[in-house]
Amino acid sequence: GESVGLHLPTLSVQEGDNSIINCAYSNSASDYFIWYKQESGKGPQFIIDIRSNMDKRQGQRVTVLLNKTVKHLSLQIAATQPGDSAVYFCAENSGTSGTYKYIFGTGTRLKVLA
């Protein structure tokens, strides 16, 4: 079946350190992936995306790595700040015959320690 899962439900990091959040996906046909950040009481907020023809993409303080061989996605946050505390979701965009949907994992809670 379709599933996108996360290895670590909670990640605690020291302020200033780098954070790495991992995600495994199951649909090898998925061609587009997104990382979202969700703060308490708010809707998911787009962070960064990557297409299947790439294996790395960098944004501001964030980097997404895609390993299609093992169907693995990771989000790296450099110099983690208190404002980065949130739940992070990876999502795969998959579809057939013109229908598309974003399948989300259960999320990883990132706690930034002062």
Q: Please report, as ranges, the residues that interact with another protein according to CB under 8 A.
A: 31-32, 34, 36, 42-46, 49, 51, 89, 91, 93, 95, 98-107
Least separation in angstroms between residue 88's CB and another protein is 11
Least separation in angstroms between residue 11's CB and another protein is 15
Determine phi and psi for 98, rounding to 5 degrees. 80, 5
- CA pair distance 2, 28, nearest whole angstrom: 10
- CA pair distance 4, 106, nearest whole angstrom: 8
In the complex with another protein, which residue's Cβ is closer, 3 or 18?
A: 3
Least separation in angstroms between residue 61's CB and another protein is 18
In the complex with another protein, which residue's Cβ is closer, 19 or 107?
A: 107
